[in-house]
Amino acid sequence: MSGDWRYPPELSEALAAFGLAPSARSSPRRVRDALNGLYRYELRRLRDRLLARELQKPEYVAQVIALRKKYWPLSLLPEAWEKICQGPGNEAMGQ
């Protein structure tokens, strides 16, 4: 898929908090994959801290829940990212 993508301000702001600044040429699926990679990295770090007994289970669970909230854009399916980021000329892409 190619074309210009338009990231809504709310999504752009959320992505900027993670150091991601997609351009109009950045595929929503690739941006979502990058965000998912960051999320998984943070989850692994938390799991490692739990296994090293640096965290107690209740604290671990609370931090996992906080991460889920922090990474809220991942709650949108890849298809939803493409739909909300469609710009002019991309209308037929979702079909």
Q: Provide the pLDDT for residue 93.
A: 45
Parse the chain into domains and list their residue ranges.
9-85
String of b and e for 16-41 (b: at least 16 CB within 10 Å)? eeeebebeeebbbeebbebbeeebee
Given a contact cutoff of 8 angstroms between Cβ atoms, the answer to whether 8 and 36 are in contact is no
Global pTM reads 0.85
What is the rounded distance in angstroms from the CA atom of residue 93 to the CA atom of residue 66? Answer: 34
Would you give per-residue pLDDT tens digits along the chain (95 residues)? 457 899 999 999 999 999 999 999 999 999 999 999 999 999 999 999 999 999 999 999 999 999 999 999 999 999 999 999 986 555 544 44
